[in-house]
Amino acid sequence: MTRTAVVYHPIYLRHETDGHIERKERLTAILERLRAEDLRVEFVTPAPATLDQVATIHGQGYIEQVKAICEHGGGYLDIDTVLSRDSYDAALMAAGGAIAAVDAVMGGFKRAFALVRPPGHHAMPNRGMGFCVFNNVAIAAKHAQARGLKKVLIVDWDVHHGNGTNAIFYSDSSVVYFSTHQFPHYPGTGRADEVGEGGARGTKVNVPLPSGTGDEGYLAVFREILRPIAMEFGPDIILVSAGQDPHKNDPLGGMSLTSRGFGAIAGVVKEIADACCDGRLAACLEGGYNLDAQAEAIVAELCAFQGDVPEISGTDLRVAARIEEVKRIQSAYWKCFQ
């Protein structure tokens, strides 16, 4: 059995959001489900990210802004993103959790899943947004590179485009960012022609999907776009921005993924990790707002990481057309589509 780490710290529950949909019960529901399922996972306690580690992505002025708001009892970074007294410490630990997941898969584990909050993939270098404070996955990617892993693949299956991660690495050819997301939808970015700039063109692979996309459509995208690009790129580690809000029961999304579908796409990512980077695969929690659906989907993902992958069959003609569009755009940069 593949050793799988689950990274968690109780300080994540002290990021109080006063009835906000991104609330601490998201984590307690996952933890309860993991205990009920008796999964073979080992819990890992992270340390907070250092200021130097956070500063690989975020400006000093923004870091100080977050700290000051929290020291004054809390407030808002934007209309959607609330901070409480302990949110700064929780955010440092969330980034530290993503870092700990990287360290785990560079150590004795093959896979890791960081159950962190606040989430991160919308966070820009100098501002938070979309419930996100620090960009946990981006900080983890820089940490992996600092430890000698040169090429990083970030897979983002959240229902919302990870505009922060996309922007942070937009001119960085050492990081391939692959995103499936509902479009049009918040935050409005992630068109198929957003491919990166300069020498990094083609390393940003955005797959905007129509509302209602389900298991068959998602799996086709992962098999027909992600897998060939990943095999050609040859990453040294794979990081996942794991948002469960494409689930058919999620209140903030309009997609139709089932928990089996999450397991199936996680299985494709696991196959790529085994083929390219000695199995190194570290996921980090992003969105997901139906408590039961999110917990069930994460169980399916963890099972897939360990080799128990559901079989999905069928086609989605709407998504087939989008796949061909993305292949046409990316064929200028990837031999697999030429």
Considering the chain, what is the average pLDDT of its residues? 97
What mean pLDDT is predicted for residues 298-305?
98
**Quick one: pLDDT at residue 1?**
56
**By percentage, how much of the chain surpasses pLDDT 70?**
100
- Name the residue with higher pLDDT: 3 or 75: 75
**Quick one: pLDDT at residue 125?**
98
> Who's near 267: CB < 8 A, 6+ residues apart?
304, 309, 310
CA–CA distance, 211 with 49 (Å, rounded to integer): 36
Q: How far, CA to CA in Å, does 156 sit from each of 86, 159, 239?
A: 27, 9, 9
Q: Tokens for 195?
A: 């491919």
Q: Regarding beta strands 4-7 and 237-242, do their DSSP bridges make them parallel or antiparallel, or are they unpaired?
A: unpaired
Which residue do the tokens 């899943």 mark? 113
Q: Using one digit for the tens of pLDDT, what is the confidence trace for 58-88?
A: 999 999 999 999 999 999 999 999 999 999 9
Q: Using one digit for the tens of pLDDT, what is the confidence trace for 210-240?
A: 999 999 999 999 999 999 999 999 999 999 9
Q: Tokens for 208?
A: 């905007």
**Quick one: pLDDT at residue 38?**
82
Domains and CATH numbers, the chain: 4-337 (3.40.800.20)
Full-model pTM: 0.98
Q: Using one digit for the tens of pLDDT, what is the confidence trace for 94-140?
A: 999 999 999 999 999 999 999 999 999 999 999 999 999 999 999 99
Catalytic positions, written as ranges: 122
Q: Label residue 2 by pLDDT band (50, 70, 90).
A: confident
**Quick one: pLDDT at residue 202?**
98
Is 71 buried (19+), middle (13-18) or exposed (0-12) by CB count in 10 A? Answer: exposed
